[in-house]
């Protein structure tokens, strides 16, 4: 693992440092099953803290550094960690939170590896802790959902799930020890932590580990990378950078996109400018990996690919719950897998609501299969619009809108309407200051749509609200414009 402009860590270094961290955790009173929460910047030491927890059986709880003190209180109150590690500059501020919730221990860890935790672990022997010897079904991490449709819930990720994900993706994407992943994702989320980093560790591969997504730094390091994993906004910024070219992607054999839908024009532009095809994949916090476009064979643009090994994907009728078997039918996506989470932390009611008796998990996403078994995501079930008794899938409308030359991106939502129940409404970001108005855009769309699918109103905005992983927060849009038709 190489940090640009800084140190290089060998596998022996990672084993040694994570062992010292595990020893220090034990000396702080942490035992298997205890929670260790970390709201810290991305750094090699942050990753090694996670590995230390896994090695000694503690439950790692990564938290977004963007959370305010008030938001942090919710997570600390819910997870009840036995140790909280925070940024050094926030140590005094966060102490009031740990005092309020009686967290036994508080330490700090900075972006450059400074802080009280590293200081305490520095002189600890690397093997003076009790290695985990329990069952693979035990919890390894508590990952909080993005909360785009409600309060964040803690998904209990098992050790078995981590192993399945790492091995499956290493095999699916043909990782070898010669691969070099340019890691520019955050690691408070399953994408950067378990989809990216764990796959590299399983394969014995290498990482260029950037501490943040800096577009110039990514461009500077791409010539040394064979693999890049990102979210759609990263790819959009890459293709707009003047230094992005086939030459800097000369070694790049694999580009992966996940966490949010990616526009077709982004896929086309990336392939044209780099010579490399982006492979889309699909997963959730609760499932880790579900589907992926194959490395060998046919990668279908716009599809999230085929179910990976040992993962079963089923579609259920939205109203009846009956299993759908034919291609093209839209249904609720259900998943059964060795990588499935154990349930929601201290929330058995929500767990029972989302888990089926046959072991399938209801993802809340809507999808369809094509005749070759490739999965396409249509949207979220909560985002589906029912207007005048007809179902409208936002993704279908968004694809049409995004195909207009002057549209950068769009989000289609349903808003309360006195006559139709819900009205199809488009929130649009244009890529030019001069563009057709609302009436002209609606007229342009009517030609290719059934009448009820066409937006009744179009709202022009400068940008769409997104969470940390780039997902558009439609719940915020629905809240902002809920009185539009009243």
At 236 the pLDDT is 87
Nearby residues of 45 by Cβ (< 8 Å), 6 or more positions away: 17, 21, 109, 113, 117, 118
354 domain-assigned: no
DSSP per residue, 62-98 = E--TT--HHHHHHHHHHH--SEEEE-GGGHHHHHHHH
255 inside domain: no
**Domain containing 413 — which CATH number?**
3.30.300.30
pLDDT in tens, 191-237: 999 999 999 999 999 999 999 999 999 999 999 999 999 988 899 89
CA gap 466, 43 in Å, rounded: 24
Asked whether the beta carbons of 261 and 254 are under 8 A apart, the reply is no
Higher pLDDT, 71 or 425: 425
C-alpha span between 449 and 315 (Å, rounded):
25
Strand partners, 220: none
Tokens 């700090």 sit at which residue?
Answer: 108
pLDDT digits (tens, 9 = 90+) for 98-118: 999 999 999 999 999 999 999
In-domain check, residue 414: yes
State the first-to-last Cα distance of the chain, in angstroms, to the nearest integer.
56
Q: Is residue 474 assigned to a domain?
A: yes
Average pLDDT for 274-291: 95
Range in 14-18, 66-70, 452-456 with the lowest mean pLDDT? 66-70
CB-based contact 232:198 (threshold 8 Å) = no
Q: Which residues pair with 61 in a beta bridge?
A: 37
pLDDT (tens digit, 9 = 90+) per residue, 379-408?
878 888 888 777 788 888 998 899 898 999
The alpha carbon of 153 is separated from its chain's Cα centroid by a whole number of angstroms, namely 15
Q: What is the pLDDT of residues 32-77, one digit of tens each?
A: 999 999 999 999 999 999 999 999 999 999 999 988 888 899 999 9
Over 60: is that where the pLDDT of 260 sits?
Answer: yes
Strands (E) in 58-193, as ranges, are 59-62, 83-86, 105-108, 139-144, 154-158, 180-183
Least reliable range by pLDDT among 126-140, 146-160, 349-363: 146-160
Give the chain's length. Answer: 486
| Token pair for 468 | 């940390």
Mean pLDDT value across residues 242-256: 96
Report residue 149's pLDDT band, with 50, 70 and 90 as the boundaries.
very low
Which of 134, 167, 191 is the last residue in one of the domains?
134
Q: Is 301 exposed, middle or buried (0-12, 13-18, 19+ CB in 10 A)?
A: middle
Is 216 part of a structural domain of the chain? no
Q: What is the mean pLDDT of residues 422-435?
A: 91
Q: How many domains does the chain have?
A: 2
Asked if pLDDT for residue 150 goes beyond 70, the answer is no
Residue 187 lies in a domain: no
Average of per-residue pLDDT values in the chain: 93
Res 146: pLDDT = 65
CA 415 to each of CA 442, 453, 458: distance values in angstroms, whole numbers, following the listed order: 17, 13, 12
| Last residue within a domain, chosen from 110, 134, 158 | 134
Q: Is residue 105 a contact partner of residue 121, using CB atoms and an 8 Å limit?
A: no
Residue 245 domain-assigned (yes or no): no
pLDDT at 59: 98
Q: In the listed set 105, 134, 163, which residue is the last one of a domain according to the structure?
A: 134
Question: Is the pLDDT confidence value at 447 over 90?
Answer: no
pLDDT classification of 432: cutoffs 50, 70, 90: confident
402: in domain: yes
- Beta-bridge partner residues of 278: 255
Domain of 98, in residue numbers: 11-134
Give the CA-trace dihedral at 54, 150, 337, 346, to 10 degrees. 50
pLDDT tens track for 323-361? 998 899 999 999 999 999 999 999 999 999 999 999 999
User: Does residue 294 carry a pLDDT above 90?
Assistant: yes
- pLDDT over 70 for what percent of the chain? 99
Q: What is the pLDDT of residues 153-175, one digit of tens each?
A: 999 999 999 999 999 999 999 99
- Please report the sign of the dihedral spanned by the C-alpha atoms of residue 429, residue 431, residue 434, residue 440: negative
CATH number, domain containing residue 69: 3.40.50.980
């Amino acid at each position: 693992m190489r940090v640009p402009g800084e140190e290089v860590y060998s596998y022996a270094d990672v084993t040694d440092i994570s062992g010292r961290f595990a020893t220090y955790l034990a000396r702080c009173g942490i035992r298997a099953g205890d929670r260790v929460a970390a709201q810290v910047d991305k750094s090699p030491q942050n990753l090694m803290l996670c590995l230390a927890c896994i090695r000694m059986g503690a439950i790692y709880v990564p938290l977004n550094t963007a959370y305010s003190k008030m938001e942090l209180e919710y997570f600390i109150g819910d997870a009840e960690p036995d140790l909280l590690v925070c940024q050094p500059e926030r140590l005094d501020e966060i102490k009031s939170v740990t005092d309020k919730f009686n967290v036994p221990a508080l330490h700090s860890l900075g972006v450059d590896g400074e802080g009280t935790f590293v200081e305490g672990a520095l002189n600890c022997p690397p093997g003076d802790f009790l290695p985990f010897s329990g069952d693979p079904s035990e919890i390894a991490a508590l990952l909080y959902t993005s909360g785009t449709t409600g309060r964040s819930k803690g998904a209990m990720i098992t050790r078995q799930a981590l192993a399945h994900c790492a091995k499956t993706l290493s095999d699916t994407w043909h990782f070898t020890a010669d691969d070099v992943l340019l890691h520019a994702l955050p690691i408070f989320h399953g994408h950067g932590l378990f989809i990216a980093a764990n796959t590299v560790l399983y394969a014995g591969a290498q990482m260029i580990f950037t501490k943040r997504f800096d577009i110039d730094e990514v461009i500077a390091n791409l010539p040394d990378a064979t693999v890049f994993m990102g979210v759609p906004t990263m790819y959009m910024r890459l293709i707009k950078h003047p230094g992005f070219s086939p030459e800097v992607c000369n070694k790049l054999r694999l580009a992966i996109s996940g966490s949010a839908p990616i526009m077709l024009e982004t896929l086309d532009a990336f392939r044209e400018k780099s010579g490399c095809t982006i492979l889309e994949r699909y997963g959730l916090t609760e499932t880790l990996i579900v589907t992926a476009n194959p490395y060998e064979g046919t990668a279908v643009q716009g599809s999230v690919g085929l179910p990976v090994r040992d993962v079963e994907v089923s579609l259920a009728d939205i109203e009846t719950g009956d299993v759908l078997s034919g291609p093209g039918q839209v249904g609720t996506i259900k998943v059964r897998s060795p990588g499935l989470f154990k349930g929601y932390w201290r929330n058995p009611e929500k767990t029972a609501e989302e888990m089926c008796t046959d072991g399938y998990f209801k993802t809340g996403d809507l999808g369809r299969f094509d005749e070759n078994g490739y999965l396409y995501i249509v949207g979220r079930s909560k985002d589906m619009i029912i207007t005048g008794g007809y179902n409208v899938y936002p993704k279908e409308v968004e694809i049409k809108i995004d195909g207009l030359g002057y549209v950068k991106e769009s989000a289609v939502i349903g808003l309360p309407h006195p006559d139709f129940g819900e009205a199809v409404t488009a929130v649009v970001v244009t890529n030019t200051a001069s563009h057709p108005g609302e009436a002209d855009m609606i007229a342009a769309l009517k030609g290719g749509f059934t009448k009820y699918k066409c937006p009744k109103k179009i709202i022009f905005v400068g940008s769409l609200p997104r969470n940390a992983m780039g997902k558009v927060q439609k719940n915020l849009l629905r809240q902002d414009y809920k009185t539009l038709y009243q």
